[in-house]
Amino acid sequence: MKRKFLTNLTILIILNLLVKPFWVLGIDLTVQNTVGASQYGFYFSLLSFSLLLNIIQDMGITSFNSRNIARDHNLLADLLPNIINLKLLLALAYFITSLTIAYLLGYTAIQFRLLLVLLFNQFLSSLNLYLRSNISGLQLFRTDSLLSVTDRILMIVICSFLLWGNFTGTAFRIEWFVYAQTTAYFMTTLIIMAILLKHVAFSELRLDFSITLDMLKQSYPYALLGLMMVLYYRTDSVMLERMLPDGMLQAGIYAQGFRILDAASMLGFLFAGILLPMFSKMIKQNQPVLQLFRFSFLLLLVPAIIGAVALNIYRLEVMELLYREHSAESSRVFGYLMVSFVFVSCSIMSGTLLTANGNIRYLNMIAGFSVLLNITLNLILIPRYYAQGSAMASMATQFFAAFMQMTCVMKIFNFVPQGKFILRFAVFLIALLIIGGMAKSLAPGAVAGFVIIVTAGLVIALLAGLISLTEIREALFISEKPK
């Protein structure tokens, strides 16, 4: 099972490393530098708002579907036509609820127009994620890997023409960025549907209320979890824009620091997308999951820690390299958010295992307290520290969520880290911080220092046994014995 996980993960990471860095650092970053922090903050706060209630149009269906299709492929023909109709109804509820709240918050006509398009984009994105959950549930991981970057490839092509093609004869506008996303999402939907129709045949789109009600009863805890996770992950920029006189600018500064966190977090979600159906199948078949969990957890966490340390030490240099304005302010935001990335990685891995095991009640309780903590801290810190205050609130919230989820994993799966492992991990972390401080003082430049920290971190992790090249080699090249 480790071999299957690692092989598909390798393919997925290679594809994403080829595409998404160029999207984040080539297209998205260029758009912000072109339109300015304030205009991008205008877009970013509305994007975050469109994500807050996005779970209404999913209601946990995607997680429910991925788990159940992985366990029984024959369910696809019955579930697919029902779920598509249900998602259309839920999307209508999502639009009505989001626009009503936007009106109550006092959004202007200009904000409403852009928000409407962003809501439609979220509908297409949610539909694509659901359709892809069928493909991953069928264990077609390589196909799903290709589809995971299809929308970004299309966006890169369209935005490249708009940014550098000089076809319009006018300055780039933030609205064009949103319309490009709409086009790319829609084309991706058509591609995924064409692939799915090769694997399942159904005569009509129907809505069987008995199947739908049973599905919603099983999936609503996942919907509640998704809603609360988005609230404590995306509320920050919305609160910044609404609470401060220069809210759009502060949201733009926050976006500058948030961009790399958001991109890096995608790596964790790639792990989760592969591991959720694998954990679900293993648990159903009463196979032990802790070995795969430990292997995948460290494979994500160790690079996350190394990256967080290196990027934190050179946070100002990174922001000055990427942005034309507000680099000092955004570097402070960036520093806190890079620490958050370590906790986000822990939460993704532990949350995936708990979800596969059906421990949604615990996850919902943790998420509920996290929402309250995040909103409370934002209310306290934003008026005093502005965008930096939101980053501090995010870091504290992510630490709380990660700590509680890992506690649940250790209790439910009787997983207690050995003293030897804790000691090795502590040595790794302390040594990394010492080398990071020395590199900052002695290295002949930021690039050299960054390379030294990353290289030393990987070497220390290997020497400490946190990452085993032998285990990776066996997983990749040695066939697993049939059970």
Same domain flag for 189 and 114:
yes
Same domain flag for 112 and 255:
yes
356 near 276, Cβ under 8 Å? yes
Residues of the domain holding 147: 2-416
Same domain flag for 363 and 469:
no
Domain boundary among 416, 446, 468: 416
Spacing of C-alpha 300 from chain mean position: 14
Domain count across the chain: 2
> What pLDDT, on the 0 to 100 scale, is given for residue 66?
67
> What pLDDT, on the 0 to 100 scale, is given for residue 289?
85
Question: Would you state the torsion angle of the CA atoms of residues 476, 479, 481, 483, taken in this order, to the nearest 10 degrees?
Answer: 70
What global pTM score does this model have? 0.78
Same domain flag for 430 and 408:
no
Same domain flag for 54 and 97:
yes
Statement: residue 483 has pLDDT above 60: no
Domain boundary among 416, 438, 462: 416
pLDDT band of 211, cuts 50, 70, 90: low
Provide mean pLDDT across the span 388-409: 95
Same domain flag for 374 and 332:
yes
> What pLDDT, on the 0 to 100 scale, is given for residue 478?
45
> What pLDDT, on the 0 to 100 scale, is given for residue 8?
60
Same domain flag for 475 and 357:
no
Statement: residue 392 has pLDDT above 80: yes
Surface-to-core class of residue 367, CB atoms within 10 Å of its CB (0-12 exposed, 13-18 middle, 19+ buried): buried
pLDDT, one tens digit per residue, over 449-459 is 999 999 999 99
Provide mean pLDDT across the span 473-479: 53
Share of the chain above pLDDT 70, in %: 87
> What pLDDT, on the 0 to 100 scale, is given for residue 414?
86
> What pLDDT, on the 0 to 100 scale, is given for residue 305?
95
pLDDT, one tens digit per residue, over 65-99 is 766 666 666 666 667 777 888 888 899 999 999 99
Domain boundary among 416, 443, 470: 416
Surface-to-core class of residue 181, CB atoms within 10 Å of its CB (0-12 exposed, 13-18 middle, 19+ buried): buried
Of 262, 259, 388, 401, which Cα lies nearest the Cα of 336? 388
Same domain flag for 318 and 442:
no
> What pLDDT, on the 0 to 100 scale, is given for residue 276?
79
DSSP, residue by residue, 10-38: HHHHHHHHHHHHIIIIIIIHHHHHHH-HH
> What pLDDT, on the 0 to 100 scale, is given for residue 71?
63
- Alpha-carbon Rg for the chain, nearest whole angstrom, is 22
Query: In degrees, to the nearest 5, what angle opens at C-alpha 455 toward C-alphas 451 and 456?
Result: 115
Same domain flag for 179 and 202:
yes
Q: Which residue has the higher pLDDT, 3 or 26?
A: 26
| Mean pLDDT for the chain overall | 85
> What pLDDT, on the 0 to 100 scale, is given for residue 116?
95
350 near 366, Cβ under 8 Å? no
> What pLDDT, on the 0 to 100 scale, is given for residue 194?
86
pLDDT, one tens digit per residue, over 301-318 is 999 999 999 999 999 999
Same domain flag for 93 and 146:
yes
Statement: residue 254 has pLDDT above 90: yes
Statement: residue 343 has pLDDT above 80: yes
pLDDT band of 438, cuts 50, 70, 90: very high
Same domain flag for 408 and 426:
no
454 near 306, Cβ under 8 Å? yes
Same domain flag for 431 and 372:
no
pLDDT, one tens digit per residue, over 116-135 is 999 999 999 999 988 887 78
